[in-house]
């Protein structure tokens, strides 16, 4: 095969404070920066889907023709300009080049200023260009909000099976395998089923039940159906009608496939009470962390889940920092706070300086900056490489960064935001995570891939932030009527008449 390949990823929190413009995709945020044509081959060694797809395709003797790969940190809507520029490059290539199939590296939860279903629109445009016969396949994030339009326009869709997403490259290779079956003439049926409740993102970790058992069971569903089954838990912060979890599968025997998709969906629904998550207040989380850490040699980790830049937060809120300071926590570290002004002042003052700063703060959630005297401990240019399992090999550039200290707490301060999912981000400014008693990380689940092995305990804190840990607390308007906005919660009634 001659395969056109491209990537366009964004996870959209329609309740978040900041939109994703074209420059957000150029920079990448915690993802690789935008790249085109042969530059994309450098992603083959990064743990992302297109890297795994390229490796599998070339190993099987196929040719790939890369167009563009772009991703931006999760945020509010993708601007119309960004969507049209990036998708326009993909559709233009599809209209002009000679190839046998298309592969897309997508997220599956993109909402744009002018479109509720970004991926569905892109897939539909490509289908109109290449006709009904050409295979179009895509890999999706585990948090995709899979729409009917996506399912109908694509020949095959395959979602991640781990959260943290350590299987991204593996999913790209799995998608290549599905494409080969389609191209070789195998007639694969599609069966899908929607789940009637939203799942909090903190409940979806495949290190924990019930997600662990459900996702591990997908291998058995594949075997029984002789196909590929997927479960996208959805991204529960995108306010449109098809937000929510979906189960689907592609297989040669419709009856077997229907049985397996129904069996998988029924298992998820039966487990509904277990998809709920307990949360601690910042004060409770710090007190419990200090109690646990007193007798441990490994750090206690607290997830600051509601300001997770991987879910639309801007890494600016200070609720957890205040709780640490007020409790007089010692040998604690927080990562990260995105404050370019504070980082610039630290660089101007130099290591060893003491500065009075108003650090962080997020007006959209009523979060004030922390005003205090900070010591500049270490400076960095903000560049580092991920060595942990999540996005292994990825290079990030967060701009001028610093380690600041206030009382017994050190803080990673950066000029650009990213989710704190790799220990090297802390090491970048001289913070050795293994040596700390308490680590507060702006992340929901992805941190577990690199931090769980060094943690004595993990706590989940519900400090004010743009990403509601409990989706029922969001001011929904456009969800499908009847879906439950949390496990075992109330059915949604639309306020929009």
Q: Any idea what the CATH number is for the domain that residue 144 is in?
A: 3.40.50.2300
Rounded Cα distance, 202 and 229, in Å: 23
CB 428 within 8 A of CB 401: yes
pTM over 0.85: yes
**362 and 405 share one domain:** yes
Long-range residue pairs from 339-345, CB within 8 A, at least 24 positions apart, any chain: 339/413, 339/414, 339/415, 340/399, 340/400, 340/414, 340/415, 340/416, 342/402, 342/404, 342/413, 343/399, 343/400, 343/401, 343/402, 343/413, 343/414, 343/415, 344/400, 344/415
Give the residue from 275, 292, 319 where a domain finishes. 275
**428 and 362 share one domain:** yes
Domain count, the chain: 2
Strands (E), 114-175: 136-140, 156-159
Find, among 95, 94, 113, 87, the residue nearest to 14 by Cα. 113
Looking at the domain assignment, is residue 487 inside a domain?
Answer: no
**193 and 263 share one domain:** yes
Looking at the domain assignment, is residue 494 inside a domain?
Answer: no
**286 and 225 share one domain:** no
Sign of CA dihedral 216, 220, 223, 228: negative
CA-CA-CA-CA dihedral for 484, 487, 488, 492, to nearest 10: -10
CB 213 within 8 A of CB 288: no
Looking at the domain assignment, is residue 429 inside a domain?
Answer: yes
Strand-strand pairing, 246-251 and 228-232: antiparallel
Which tokens is 68 given?
A: 């563009």
> How much is the pLDDT for 471?
95
Looking at the domain assignment, is residue 472 inside a domain?
Answer: no
Which tokens is 409 given?
A: 């707490």
Which residues, in sequence order, are bridge partners of residue 194?
246
Neighbour count for residue 363 (Cβ, 10 Å): 10
**7 and 128 share one domain:** yes
Looking at the domain assignment, is residue 294 inside a domain?
Answer: yes
Rounded Cα distance, 259 and 447, in Å: 36
**304 and 341 share one domain:** yes
Rounded Cα distance, 404 and 415, in Å: 14
Looking at the domain assignment, is residue 436 inside a domain?
Answer: yes
CA distances from 374 to 322, 368, 402, 411, 454 (A): 14, 17, 11, 10, 28
Task: Write phi, then psi, for 233 (nearest 5 degrees).
Answer: -70, -10
Sheet with strand 228-232: strands edge to edge: 189-194, 246-251, 228-232
Which residues, in sequence order, are bridge partners of residue 8?
70, 106
> How much is the pLDDT for 485?
97
pLDDT by residue, tens only, the chain of 497 residues: 999 999 999 999 999 989 999 999 999 988 999 999 999 999 999 999 999 999 999 999 999 999 999 999 999 999 999 999 999 999 999 998 789 999 999 999 999 999 999 999 999 999 999 999 999 999 999 999 999 999 999 999 999 999 999 999 999 999 999 999 999 999 999 999 999 999 999 999 999 999 999 999 999 999 999 999 999 999 999 999 999 999 999 999 999 999 999 999 999 999 999 999 889 999 999 999 999 999 899 999 999 999 999 888 999 999 999 999 999 999 999 999 999 999 999 999 999 999 999 999 999 889 999 999 999 999 999 999 999 998 899 999 999 999 999 999 999 999 999 999 999 999 999 999 999 999 999 999 999 999 999 999 999 999 999 888 999 999 999 999 999 999 999 999 989 76
**305 and 230 share one domain:** no
**204 and 116 share one domain:** yes
> How much is the pLDDT for 364?
86
Which tokens is 59 given?
A: 């190993």
Which tokens is 343 given?
A: 């980082």
Looking at the domain assignment, is residue 442 inside a domain?
Answer: yes
Q: Give me the DSSP letters along 373-416.
A: EEEEEEEE-SEEE--SSTTTT-EEE--SEEEEEETTEEEEEESS
**356 and 426 share one domain:** yes
**385 and 362 share one domain:** yes
Q: Residue 193 belongs to what H/E stretch?
A: strand 189-194
Which tokens is 237 given?
A: 């912060």
Give the residue from 275, 298, 326 where a domain finishes. 275
Which tokens is 74 given?
A: 């999760």
Within 8 A by CB and 6+ apart from 399, the residues are 340, 343, 381, 382, 414, 415, 416
CB 418 within 8 A of CB 30: yes
**14 and 161 share one domain:** yes
Domain that holds residue 342: 282-467
Rounded Cα distance, 126 and 118, in Å: 13
Give the residue from 254, 275, 296 where a domain finishes. 275
Looking at the domain assignment, is residue 149 inside a domain?
Answer: yes
**231 and 292 share one domain:** no
Q: Residue 341 belongs to what H/E stretch?
A: helix 340-349
CA–chain centroid gap for 353, Å, is 36
* Angle between helical axes of 118-130 and 80-96 (0-180°, round to 10): 20
């Amino acid at each position: 095969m001659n395969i056109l390949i491209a990537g366009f990823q964004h996870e959209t929190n329609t309740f978040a404070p900041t939109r994703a413009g074209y420059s957000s995709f150029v920079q990448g945020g915690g993802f690789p920066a935008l790249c085109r044509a042969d530059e994309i081959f450098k992603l083959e060694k990064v743990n992302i889907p297109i890297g795994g797809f390229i490796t599998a395709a070339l190993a099987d003797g196929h040719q790939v023709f890369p167009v563009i790969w772009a991703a931006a940190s999760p945020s509010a809507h993708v601007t119309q300009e960004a969507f049209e520029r990036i998708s326009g490059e993909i559709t233009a290539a599809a209209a002009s080049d000679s190839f046998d199939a298309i592969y897309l590296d997508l997220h599956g939860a993109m909402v744009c200023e002018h479109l509720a279903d970004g991926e569905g629109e892109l897939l539909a445009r490509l289908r109109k260009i290449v006709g009904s016969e050409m295979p179009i396949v895509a890999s999706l994030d585990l948090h995709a909000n899979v729409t009917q339009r996506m399912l109908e326009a694509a020949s095959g869709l395959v979602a991640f099976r781990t959260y943290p997403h350590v299987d991204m490259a593996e999913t790209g290779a799995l998608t290549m395998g599905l494409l080969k079956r389609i191209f070789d003439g195998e007639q694969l049926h599609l069966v899908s089923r929607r789940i009637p409740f939203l799942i909090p993102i903190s409940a979806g970790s495949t290190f924990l039940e019930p997600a662990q058992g459900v996702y591990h069971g997908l291998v058995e569903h594949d075997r029984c159906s002789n196909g590929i089954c997927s479960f996208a838990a959805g991204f529960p912060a995108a306010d449109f009608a098809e937000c929510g979890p979906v189960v689907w599968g592609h297989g040669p025997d419709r009856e077997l496939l229907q049985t397996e998709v129904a069996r998988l969906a029924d298992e998820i629904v039966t487990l509904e009470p277990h998809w709920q998550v307990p949360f601690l207040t910042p004060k409770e989380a710090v007190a419990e962390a200090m109690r646990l850490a007193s007798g441990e040699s490994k750090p206690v980790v607290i997830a600051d889940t509601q300001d997770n830049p991987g879910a639309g937060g801007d890494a600016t809120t200070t609720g957890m920092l205040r709780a640490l300071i007020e409790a007089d926590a010692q040998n604690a570290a927080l990562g990260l706070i995105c404050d370019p002004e504070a980082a610039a002042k630290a660089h101007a003052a130099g290591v060893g300086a003491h500065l009075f700063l108003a650090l962080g703060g997020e007006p959209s959630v009523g979060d004030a900056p922390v005003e205090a005297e900070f010591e500049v401990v270490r400076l960095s240019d903000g560049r580092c490489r991920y060595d942990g399992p999540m996005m292994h090999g990825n290079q990030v550039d967060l701009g001028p960064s610093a380690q600041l200290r206030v009382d017994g707490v050190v803080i990673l301060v950066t000029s650009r935001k990213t989710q704190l999912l790799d220990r090297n981000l802390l090491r970048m400014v001289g913070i050795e995570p293994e040596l700390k008693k308490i680590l507060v990380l702006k992340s929901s689940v992805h941190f577990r891939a690199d931090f769980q092995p060094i943690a004595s305990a993990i706590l989940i804190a519900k400090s004010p932030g743009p990403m509601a840990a409990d989706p029922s607390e969001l001011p929904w308007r456009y969800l499908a009527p009847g879906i439950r906005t949390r496990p075992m919660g109330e059915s949604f009634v639309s306020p929009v008449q």
